[in-house]
Chains A and B, each alone.
Chain A
Amino acid sequence: MNFDPALILASLPDVATGMAITILMWLGGSFMGLALGLAVSIARRWGGRWARLVLDAYVGLMRGTPFLVQLFLLYYGGPYAGLDLEPVQAGLLGLTLYSAAYFAEIFRGGFEAIPRGHVEAAVCVGLTQAQIIRRILLPEMTLLVLPSLINMFTLLVKETAVLSIITVPELTMVITAIGSANFAFAEATFLLAVSYWAIVEITGLIGRFIEGRLGRYRLV
């Protein structure tokens, strides 16, 4: 095995583009998933019986099947159902729908962990249901679930690698393409592994920093 760093240096612009797309897909998919997950968790809790039934099924399906199979269904099956998506669009939509189910579960746990007394106190001082959700439950829950949210975000960085299989031109696809074009697959994949390791460790550091900062507001 002869490792040639010049190979990597020559294709640095491509690697940078791939990295940018990885980060874009990751943050785009995660934040949309976060928003959708919050909406799902609120609708499950206060949306009535039918909403709960449908959304329970949604969460169960997304969490019970592999992300790759969901992507295949969306990307290859989509056109047959009138949903013709480019790889990047399918990737973003897939990542959003997938992560939303996990985020919804995290938020559900958070809502359940809030002491009943806080809600009762809010009712006593005359807050409406909407006010209670917005001013009591959401802020308290955010602090409770923060570590789980950060953990989920770091898991999602790694899930973006799967998007290469439906030809989203992100880091994994770019670097493996360089590797096979130059017959240096082992070196390229090793570089890839180290890149993800770095992103995950940095995300963890940022997460611990945010946790430390917000931890000051913790009540329970």
Chain B
Amino acid sequence: MLWTHIILLGQGAIMTVAISAVAITVGFALGVLVCAARLSPVAGLRGLGAAYVSFFRGVPLLVMLLLIYHLLPAIGIDVPGVVAAIIGLTLSTAAYQAENLRGGFLNVGTGLVEAARMVGLNARQILLRIRLPIALRLVFPAVVNEAIMLLKASSLVSVVGVADITRDAQNLASSTYRPIEAFTIAGAYYLLLNIVLSGGGSSLSRMLGRHRA
């Protein structure tokens, strides 16, 4: 009885992991672009980047998901709930990751950049060989942290009909009249996934640390 429930929610767990993984990866790429805009020498781009970050960090994810889920059909684009969910999570995490990246770039020691310039590296080389690798290493823990936050926040996609852990638990709770068991199993899944994520994150972080400048 209990085992069948655990296996049932396992399907939801696969969905949760899948949409979180897509959102965090695509969101990172988008975050790089937003961060580049925020650090750009062009004032218009900087303003645009700042507005993006402010808006997507200022609106609750639930509201963002509802907005995308209902706005896209209203302008003639019909998307299934899963796609709306991934778009919402991606746009939101990109704003947070852009801010983390910006912090990483601003924390690259000016001495390192000056030294690189002294030995004759050009701007492109300095960016690709000095600033980018150091910034990425600096933000790595923040990315892991963001992945954990995103995994938890992804529980909200159940509202737009995606069959994730939380949605499966809701169905289980209403069909068995045992909400305590259903939501405890759901919580245990999230906890387990987060422990795996943070454990994997710290060992990756140690591996990256071997090349510390």
Given contacts A77-B183, A162-B60, A196-B60, contact A65 B70 (CB under 8 A): no
* Total interface residues in chain A, CB < 8 Å: 38
Binary A-proximity of B152-182 (CB < 8 A = 1, otherwise 0): 1111101100000010011001000011100
How many angstroms between the C-alpha atoms of A1 and B191 in the bound complex?
A: 42
Would you call A189 an interface residue if the criterion is a C-beta within 8 Å of the partner chain's C-beta atoms?
yes
Would you call A64 an interface residue if the criterion is a C-beta within 8 Å of the partner chain's C-beta atoms?
yes
Q: Across the interface, do B63 and A196 meet the contact criterion of CB distance under 8 Å?
A: yes
Residues of B within 8 A of A160 (CB): 60
Q: Across the interface, do B166 and A197 meet the contact criterion of CB distance under 8 Å?
A: no
How many angstroms between the C-alpha atoms of A159 and B153 in the bound complex?
A: 10
Q: Across the interface, do A197 and B54 meet the contact criterion of CB distance under 8 Å?
A: yes
Given contacts A76-B183, A186-B74, contact A64 B191 (CB under 8 A): yes
Q: Across the interface, do A185 and B70 meet the contact criterion of CB distance under 8 Å?
A: yes
How many angstroms between the C-alpha atoms of A107 and B193 in the bound complex?
A: 26
Residues of B within 8 A of A69 (CB): 155, 166, 169, 183, 186-187, 190
Residues of B within 8 A of A52 (CB): none
Given contacts A190-B67, A196-B63, contact A64 B195 (CB under 8 A): yes
How many angstroms between the C-alpha atoms of A60 and B180 in the bound complex?
A: 19
How many angstroms between the C-alpha atoms of A67 and B183 in the bound complex?
A: 12
Residues of B within 8 A of A81 (CB): 180
Q: Across the interface, do B180 and A193 meet the contact criterion of CB distance under 8 Å?
A: no
Secondary structure of the B contact surface, majority rule = helix
CB-contacts of B59-84 with A (<8 A): 59-64, 66-67, 70-71, 74-75
Q: Across the interface, do B173 and A72 meet the contact criterion of CB distance under 8 Å?
A: yes
Given contacts A67-B152, A189-B70, A201-B54, contact A72 B170 (CB under 8 A): yes
Residues of B within 8 A of A161 (CB): 60, 62-63
Given contacts A68-B155, A69-B187, A73-B184, contact A162 B179 (CB under 8 A): no
Given contacts A165-B159, A185-B70, A189-B70, contact A72 B58 (CB under 8 A): no
Q: Across the interface, do A200 and B70 meet the contact criterion of CB distance under 8 Å?
A: no
Would you call A176 an interface residue if the criterion is a C-beta within 8 Å of the partner chain's C-beta atoms?
yes
Would you call B205 an interface residue if the criterion is a C-beta within 8 Å of the partner chain's C-beta atoms?
no
Q: Across the interface, do A192 and B183 meet the contact criterion of CB distance under 8 Å?
A: no
Which residue of A is nearest B184, CB measured?
A73
Residues of B within 8 A of A162 (CB): 60, 62, 156
Smallest CB–CB gap between B200 and chain A, Å? Answer: 15
How many angstroms between the C-alpha atoms of A80 and B179 in the bound complex?
A: 8
Which residue of B is nearest A175, CB measured?
B63
Would you call B57 an interface residue if the criterion is a C-beta within 8 Å of the partner chain's C-beta atoms?
yes
How many angstroms between the C-alpha atoms of A77 and B169 in the bound complex?
A: 12
Q: Across the interface, do A189 and B75 meet the contact criterion of CB distance under 8 Å?
A: no
Residues of B within 8 A of A201 (CB): 54, 58
Would you call A142 an interface residue if the criterion is a C-beta within 8 Å of the partner chain's C-beta atoms?
no
How many angstroms between the C-alpha atoms of A80 and B180 in the bound complex?
A: 8
Binary B-proximity of A193-210 (CB < 8 A = 1, otherwise 0): 100111011000000000
Residues of B within 8 A of A80 (CB): 178-180
Residues of A within 8 A of B169 (CB): 69, 72
Would you call A212 an interface residue if the criterion is a C-beta within 8 Å of the partner chain's C-beta atoms?
no
How many angstroms between the C-alpha atoms of A172 and B60 in the bound complex?
A: 10
Extra 14 A-B pairs, beta carbons < 8 Å, given A1-B75, A68-B156, A197-B59: A64-B191, A67-B152, A68-B166, A72-B179, A73-B180, A77-B173, A77-B180, A189-B63, A190-B71, A192-B66, A193-B67, A196-B58, A196-B63, A200-B59
List 24 interface pairs A-B (beta carbons < 8 Å), by A numbering: A1-B75, A61-B187, A66-B155, A66-B156, A66-B166, A69-B183, A72-B170, A73-B187, A77-B173, A80-B180, A161-B63, A162-B156, A172-B60, A176-B66, A186-B74, A190-B67, A192-B66, A192-B67, A193-B59, A193-B67, A196-B60, A196-B63, A200-B57, A201-B54
Residues of A within 8 A of B (CB): 1, 60-61, 64-70, 72-73, 76-77, 80-81, 157-162, 164-165, 172, 176, 179, 185-186, 189-190, 192-193, 196-198, 200-201
